[in-house]
Amino acid sequence: MVREQLMQLLSEREEEMIALRRHFHENPEISFEEKQTADTIAEFYAGKDVEVKRNVGNGYGIIVTIKGSKPGRTVALRADFDALPIEEATGLPFASKNPGVMHACGHDGHTAYLMILADCLIQLKDEWAGTVKIVHQNAEELGPGGAKSMVDSGELDDVDEIYGIHFYPSFEVGEIQYANGWAYAGCSEFKLKIQGNGGHGSMPHLSNDAIVAAASYVMNLQTIVSRRIDPFDMAVVTVGSFEGMGATNVIKDNLIIQGDARYMDIEVGKKIEEEMRKLARGLEESFGVTTEFEYHWDYPPVYNHPEQTEKAAKALQEKGVGNYLTNVVSAPPNNGAEDFGQYLLKIPGSFMNVGAKPDADEYFMNHNPKFDINEKALLVAAKAVADITLTALER
C-alpha cells in the first residue's frame, strides 16, 4: 500500500532532511535575495521526472509539478525559504555564515522536509493518482511577500486544495495544532508624515508643533480598537517607530510615525484604515499641520477552510496519533501574520502548526536570535503532510 511505502521511505531519509535543514540554516538569505537557496532547491530536482518552473511570481519562487500514474485531483504543498535580517546567537555548529542574516523562523526546516517528501512522492509516483504541486515560496517575511504573486502567476489555477505547516518551539514534538476558520491575523503597515511649522521653544505660539500633533495621534489610535471595533472582533494597532529627534529648545517641524495593524477579518482591517485616515485628517484641523498617510495591505488573515481542515485533522488523528503523533488539537487563532492566507483566498486548504520544542530546558520563540527547532519535528511534519496529501488526492 502506498501509504506504508511512503512512511517507510520518509523514515529512511530523516538524516537527509536534517542535513538539508542544516545546509539552509548555515546559508540563509533574506527576502527577495534568495538566489543561492533557489539554486540549491532547483538542483535537487534536476534530472527527476518532474516539471520545474523557476522565478515564479515576484522573485525566486519555484513550482515543481509531480504527476501520478493516472489523472486525478491536484493538491499543492507550500514551504517558504527566506530568512530574516537577524544576527544569530544560537552557538550552533551549523550557525549562519552570513553576518546579520538568520533562519529565525523555521523556513529552513519547512523547505528541507518538503523537498524530501516531494522526492519520495516522485519515487512512488506510479502508486498514486493525481497531481502534486510543490510550492517553494520566496519572501514570506517581507511584504508584499511572495505568495500573492505566485497565486497571480496562474500556475496554481488548477489546484483543488493547498496545505502548509509552520514549526513552533513552544509545544512538544509530536503535537499538531490547528484552527478551523480564522487561523492567523492579517497584517497591514502604516506610515504617517506630519508637517508642522518649526520654531524656537520660547515662542510656541508662532509655530505648529509636529510632536504635539503626533503625540495626540498616537494616543487617539487606541480609541480605534476600544471605541470603533466590535469587542468580539480581534484588532491590534501598534506604533513601532516615532521619528522625532531634535534639540531641546526647538519646536519640531516634521516627523514620521510608523506601525502596523492586526486583525482576523478583512472588514476589520478596512475599518482600521478608514479610522486612521480620519484621525490623520483631524490633525490638520486641530493642530494646523499637514499630513501624508500611507496604509499598505501586506497579508490577509489566514482562513482555514472548514471542510479541508476537518478532513485533514481527522486523517492525522486516525493515522498519525499513536504512530508518529501524540496529539492533534484544535487551538486558538495565532495573532502572527502569514502570507499563506493569499493562497486560501483562492484555493481551499488549511495551514497547521507543528510542535518543534527543543530537548533543552529553555526555548526561544520565532524571530529571536537564539531561535532553534527540534530536528525530530522534520520527520513528523513530512509524515503528517504525507497523510494529508494522500487523503486529499483520494477525495
| Distance of alpha carbon 215 from alpha carbon 210, whole angstroms | 9
pLDDT in single tens digits along all 395 residues of the chain: 899 999 999 999 999 999 999 999 999 999 999 999 999 999 999 999 999 999 999 999 999 999 999 999 999 999 999 999 999 999 999 999 999 999 999 999 999 999 999 999 999 999 999 999 999 999 999 989 999 999 999 999 999 999 999 999 999 999 999 999 999 999 999 999 999 999 998 999 989 999 999 999 999 999 999 999 999 999 999 999 999 888 899 999 999 999 999 999 999 999 999 999 999 999 999 999 999 999 999 999 999 999 999 999 999 999 999 999 999 999 999 999 999 999 999 999 999 999 999 998 899 999 999 999 999 999 999 999 999 999 999 97
Instruction: Label residues 166-184 b or e (16+ Cβ within 10 Å = b).
Output: bbbbebebbbbbbbbebbb
| 131-137 and 61-67 beta bridge pairing | antiparallel
At residue 223, the pLDDT reads 97
Element at 282 (helix H, strand E): helix 266-287
> Does the annotation count 82 as an active-site position?
yes
Marked catalytic residue, from 29, 34, 82, 372: 82
Phi, psi of 364 (to 5 degrees): -125, 135
At residue 395, the pLDDT reads 79
Q: Are residues 14 and 161 in the same domain?
A: yes
Give the residue numbers spanning the domain of 129.
2-173+356-394
* DSSP secondary structure code for residue 111 in this structure: H
Residues near 326 by beta carbon (within 8 Å), at least 6 away in sequence: 172, 174, 175
Domains in the chain: how many in total?
2
How far is residue 49 from each of residues 40, 52, 103, 122, 132, measured CA to CA in Å?
18, 10, 30, 7, 13
Q: Are residues 262 and 285 in the same domain?
A: yes
Q: Are residues 168 and 256 in the same domain?
A: no
Q: Are residues 78 and 134 in the same domain?
A: yes
Burial of 129 (0-12, 13-18, 19+ CB in 10 A): middle
| Distance of alpha carbon 344 from alpha carbon 261, whole angstroms | 20
What are the beta bridge partners of residue 163?
A: 77, 350
Q: How many residues does the chain have?
A: 395
Q: Are residues 25 and 158 in the same domain?
A: yes
E strand segments, the chain: 51-56, 61-67, 74-80, 131-137, 161-168, 175-178, 181-195, 199-200, 235-243, 250-251, 254-263, 290-299, 302-304, 327-330, 334-337, 349-355
Q: Are residues 167 and 196 in the same domain?
A: no
- What is the CATH number for 239? 3.30.70.360
Whether 334 is in a domain gets the answer no
What are the beta bridge partners of residue 208?
A: 197
> Does the annotation count 260 as an active-site position?
no
Whether 36 is in a domain gets the answer yes
Q: Are residues 14 and 95 in the same domain?
A: yes
Distance of CA 109 to the CA centre of its chain: 14
What are the beta bridge partners of residue 299?
A: 187
Residues near 145 by beta carbon (within 8 Å), at least 6 away in sequence: 31, 139, 298, 299, 339, 342
Instruction: Label residues 240-259 b or e (16+ Cβ within 10 Å = b).
Output: eebeeeeeeeebbbbbebbb
Q: Are residues 63 and 152 in the same domain?
A: yes
| Distance of alpha carbon 279 from alpha carbon 281, whole angstroms | 5
Q: Residue 296 corresponds to which cell in the numbers above?
A: 499598505
At residue 34, the pLDDT reads 98
Q: Contact 6/121 with Cβ under 8 angstroms?
A: yes
Q: Are residues 7 and 145 in the same domain?
A: yes
Q: Contact 237/217 with Cβ under 8 angstroms?
A: no
Q: Are residues 33 and 108 in the same domain?
A: yes
Q: What is the pTM of this model?
A: 0.92
What is the SS3 assignment for 243? strand
Rg of the chain over all Cα atoms, to the nearest angstrom: 24
Whether 51 is in a domain gets the answer yes
Marked catalytic residue, from 108, 119, 140, 375: 140
* DSSP secondary structure code for residue 157 in this structure: T
Can you spell out the DSSP letters for 323-377? TTBSEEEE-PPEEEE-TTHHHHTTS-EEEEEEE---SSS----TTSTT----THH
Q: Are residues 212 and 164 in the same domain?
A: no
| Distance of alpha carbon 378 from alpha carbon 285, whole angstroms | 57
